[in-house]
Amino acid sequence: MKGYGVLFITGLALSVSCKKAGDATVSTAKTKQTTNVEVQGHRGDRGNFPENSLPAFISAVNKGADVLEMDVVISADNKVVVSHEPYMSYAYVLTPKGDSIHKAEETSYNLYKMPYDSIKKYDIGSKGNINFPQQKKVKAYKPLLAEVIDSVEHYVVSNNRKPVRYNIEIKSVREEYGITQPMPGDFVRLVMDVIKSKNIKGRYTIQSFDPHMLNVLHEEYPHVAVSFLVAEPGIDKNLTQLNFVPQIYSPLYNLVNKGFVDSLKQKDIKIIPWTVNDTLDIKRMRALEVDGIISDYPERVLHNN
């Protein structure tokens, strides 16, 4: 259905539509934000709804997240698809017939070799996710980036919510260029074409673990805010991989300590660690005065002072 997704949440029909997004009732009641740190809902609201799905993003909006964090890959017909993996993960995806996918076979479901109308038939929510036991089992699909932005923007206006920002991760591995993803120049162009067609100027960031991808992005679009994702220690060593100074440095949270924060603040780079779910870790990040926190449970950050 064009511009219209129907999802079923524990027997309750949810409509996320450009025409009538006000009917959506995905999450709990309005949540008052009680934090001065930027709250980013990781893959929407992965702890409670299927990751990178429309229900997860709407839930994060309802809870009061400042930013919706998401991942994008490319389909065979050059569509920008919101998905963490460039394949169908055995952990939470069911085939169009409702069958599970074996771990040994998951990478054979290469999204870069599948047209989007085929990708959309796979169910990413009914199976649930063993790593997130409170996640609701909801029938859902991998949406297009354009659809996510349209649905969220209309929902925000229709329900008198605060405007949100978007943190869009280009999922890129250098060894996979041309195999499960386009070459960097094409990947960047496809993503930016979608973003430029939407009214979100000044409300988005592009992030990636791939420094080459970010270098290409910055060369072609120097005005775009960039976040460099890292999982290894060594701030200076990591930054030398870039041809520019990023606005944001986004490390694995357990790398962060006072010296780490001080070093980045001296460079005038913001610190937004990922993925912080434990309440004690959230408190520690707050005490270190990081600029933002990416979490699978945005409500834990919002209520943790």
Residues 6+ apart with CB under 8 A from 52: 43, 44, 46, 70, 71, 82, 83, 84, 124, 142, 143
Give the confidence band of 300 by pLDDT, cuts at 50, 70, 90: very high
Radius of gyration for the alpha carbons in the chain, expressed in angstroms and rounded: 18
Is pLDDT of 16 > 80?
no
Give the confidence band of 17 by pLDDT, cuts at 50, 70, 90: very low
Residue 120: the pLDDT is: 98
Strands 165-170 and 67-74, sheet pairing? parallel
- DSSP for 127-159? T--TT-TTS--EE----BHHHHHHHHHHHHHHT
pLDDT tens figures, 27-55: 433 444 444 899 999 999 999 999 999 99
Residues 6+ apart with CB under 8 A from 47: 132, 134, 135, 277, 295, 296, 297
Residue 304: the pLDDT is: 85
Region of residue 11 (phi > 0: left; psi between -120 and 50: alpha; otherwise: beta): left
Is pLDDT of 8 > 80?
no
Residue 9: the pLDDT is: 35
pLDDT, the chain, mean: 91
pLDDT more than 90, % of the chain: 88
Rounded to a whole number, what is the distance in angstroms from the first to the last CA of the chain? 43
pLDDT tens figures, 55-98: 999 999 999 999 999 999 999 999 999 999 999 999 999 999 99
Region of residue 178 (phi > 0: left; psi between -120 and 50: alpha; otherwise: beta): left
- Tell me the mean pLDDT in the region 231-256: 98
Instruction: Work out the burial of residue 76: count CB atoms within 10 Å of its CB; fewer than 13 is exposed, 13-18 middle, 19 or more buried.
Output: middle
Structural domains in the chain plus CATH codes: 29-302 (3.20.20.190)
- CA nearest to 219, candidates 236, 239, 244, 196: 244
Is pLDDT of 7 > 50?
no
Is pLDDT of 121 > 90?
yes
Is pLDDT of 234 > 60?
yes
pLDDT more than 70, % of the chain: 88
Is pLDDT of 186 > 80?
yes
